Each structure stands twice: as structure tokens, then as C-alpha cells.
């Protein structure tokens, strides 16, 4: 892809639409927290990376408080391949032995996080990277996965965590000083061990604890799709339960939609699954009348 600034240029009609529609949203969301789960193609394609960084900085400059929680599945798989390991998953969660956890910490808390911080800096923002260990942000315990065939013996998938507590003090302190927090989904347990936590789950819980106005979950699809591949523009809790039941929502979408629904039920005003392959999808979702994905409501 082209490295020129032209590759990020917005079509004139898009510019006009965003500008004409943005003012009421800027007023409405001024001073409010917007939690963004950053992942998928938007993390791996250069034009989309820079589009994301520009959007986050713009939201900050117009008075909102973006908080970024990032994934890094493809980057972890790449690093595992280098040491001859292959990633395996149970119900959308990565099985994480001791060696894999070391790779996860290095990739998420190091390489990926610092790349995002640098991108935001280059776009004119001030970002600070955090893991769950910083400021006691994310406490966790070992997660055991349900075994439907043998409920008495749940699956042990290694150093994968369930969140037990989030202390948002460090995030709030950074926001107060006009920094953009960039959070890696790594928690720590009372046993002193680090735990890999699904980034969608972390984003949802962070949004709840911060009382976020919006939770935006970037994905590699137009949003939540029905069995025929059609976009579902809005989903209620009841409809989501039916989609879980009939297997329409499965694999990696399970933790994403579960977390989105939990956040909607626990005070986050609006939750959106947005198409991260659309340049400037964050601006389109936050600052225009027409979103680019699925809105999830608790009722």
C-alpha cells in the first residue's frame, strides 16, 4: 500500500458529511470516555493503522477521552511460529502454557503496545502504554472453561485469566493529564503470576468501570451477521441469546459479543461492533448519523 499522505485522504463527500454532522456529537460527548477495542485488520494494514491513530487523536482533540484496549492474536501467532509452536483455541480462547505466556507478554506488553503508542504520537497525540500490572489495573485468577460433555471437569487452558477486579485510578490519572491510555490485556493474580485475558473482555470491563459513554469493538466483519451473511444493524439481549443458541455467533465472536452485552447491561450507554476494515470507522461511528456496524442494547 502507498505510504503517501494521499492514501489517508478522505473523499470530499465524506469530509462534508463528517463536518456537517459532527457538531452535536462533539457537544454531547465532550468530556466523556470512549473505550475502543483495537484489533483485526486495522492493526495489521498500514493505511488502517494510520487512520485509526488519526481518529483517536482527533477524538481527544475535540474533548473526548479515548481509551484503547488492544488485541494482538496474529502477532502472537507469528511469534509462536518463530519458536515452532502453533496456537490452539478452546471456545475462542487461546490455550496458554508457560512458554506461550512469555511470548504473549513480550508481544502484547512490548512490541504491539509500543507500536500503537508510537502511531498515536506520530499522529500528534500523547499516549502511554499500560498492562494490567501497572497501578494494579487488572487483577485476575485462572480461568476454567466449561466442559459441556463433562461439567465436573472443566477445561484448564493454562495462564488464561478471568478478571476479578479493575482499579481504574491509573487510567483516570492519565486521562486527567490529557494522555491516551493504551492497555494490553494482561492481568496479574494473587499468586504473582501474569494471565492472558481476552482483549474483548478487558475492553468491556474497562468500559463498565470507567462509566464509558461508548464501547467500540473493531472487528474484521461489517458487524454481527445473520446466518445468510447479512448485517444486523441493531441487536437486543434476547436476539443475541437466540444467536448464541443456534450457533450463528460462535468462535472468536463469542467473547466479543458476550462482553459487549455485559457492558450494555452494566451502564455503558452504547456498544457498537464496528468494521475495522473501513478507514476512519471510529469517526463515522462517533461523529456521524450513520454508523458502520452493529449496535448492541441491553433490553
At residue 23, φ and ψ (nearest 5 deg) are -55, -50
Q: Are 77 and 87 in contact, with CB atoms under 8 Å apart?
A: yes
Q: Are 294 and 234 in contact, with CB atoms under 8 Å apart?
A: yes
Short-list 130, 254, 266, 259, CA closest to 185: 130
196 is in an annotated binding site: yes
Q: How big is the CA angle at 50 (ends 45 and 53), to the nearest 5 degrees?
A: 125
72 is in an annotated binding site: yes
Kindly state the cell numbers that stand for 54. Answer: 488519526
What Rg do the C-alpha atoms of the chain give, in angstroms? Answer: 19
CA distance 128 to 134: 11
CB atoms within 10 A of CB 297: 15
238 is in an annotated binding site: no
CB atoms within 10 A of CB 81: 11
Q: Are 275 and 292 in contact, with CB atoms under 8 Å apart?
A: yes
Kindly state the cell numbers that stand for 8. Answer: 489517508
Short-list 56, 167, 39, CA closest to 120: 56
Q: 216 forms bridges with which residues in the sheet?
A: 36, 272
CA distance 79 to 3: 26
136 is in an annotated binding site: no
Which segments are annotated as binding site? 72-73, 94, 196
Which segments are annotated as binding site for substrate? 72-73, 94, 196
Amino acid at each position: 500500500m502507498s505510504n503517501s499522505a494521499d492514501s489517508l485522504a478522505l473523499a470530499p463527500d465524506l469530509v462534508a458529511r463528517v463536518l456537517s454532522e459532527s457538531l452535536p456529537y462533539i457537544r454531547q460527548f465532550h468530556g466523556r470516555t470512549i473505550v475502543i477495542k483495537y484489533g483485526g485488520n486495522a492493526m495489521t494494514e498500514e493505511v488502517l493503522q494510520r487512520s485509526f491513530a488519526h481518529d483517536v487523536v482527533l477524538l481527544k482533540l475535540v474533548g473526548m477521552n479515548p481509551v484503547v484496549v488492544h488485541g494482538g492474536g496474529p502477532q502472537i501467532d507469528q511469534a509462536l511460529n518463530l519458536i515452532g509452536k502453533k496456537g490452539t483455541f478452546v471456545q475462542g480462547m487461546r490455550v496458554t502454557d508457560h512458554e506461550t505466556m512469555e511470548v504473549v507478554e513480550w508481544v502484547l506488553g512490548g512490541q504491539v503496545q509500543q507500536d500503537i503508542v508510537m502511531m498515536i504520537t506520530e499522529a500528534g497525540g500523547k499516549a502511554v502504554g499500560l498492562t494490567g500490572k501497572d497501578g494494579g489495573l487488572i487483577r485476575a485468577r485462572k480461568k476454567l472453561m466449561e466442559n459441556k460433555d463433562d461439567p465436573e471437569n472443566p477445561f484448564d487452558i493454562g495462564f488464561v485469566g478471568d478478571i476479578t477486579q479493575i482499579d481504574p485510578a491509573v487510567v483516570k490519572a492519565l486521562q486527567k493529564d490529557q494522555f491516551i491510555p493504551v492497555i494490553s490485556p494482561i492481568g496479574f493474580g494473587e499468586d504473582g503470576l501474569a494471565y492472558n485475558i481476552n482483549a474483548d473482555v478487558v475492553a468491556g470491563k474497562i468500559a463498565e468501570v470507567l462509566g464509558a459513554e461508548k464501547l467500540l469493538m473493531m472487528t474484521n466483519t461489517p458487524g454481527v451477521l445473520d446466518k445468510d451473511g447479512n448485517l444486523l444493524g441493531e441487536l437486543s439481549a434476547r436476539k443475541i441469546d437466540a444467536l448464541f443458541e443456534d450457533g450463528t455467533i460462535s468462535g472468536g465472536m463469542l467473547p466479543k459479543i458476550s462482553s459487549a452485552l455485559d457492558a450494555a447491561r452494566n451502564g455503558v450507554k452504547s456498544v457498537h461492533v464496528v468494521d475495522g476494515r473501513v478507514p476512519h470507522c471510529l469517526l463515522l461511528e462517533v461523529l456521524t448519523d450513520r454508523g458502520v456496524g452493529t449496535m448492541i442494547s441491553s433490553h
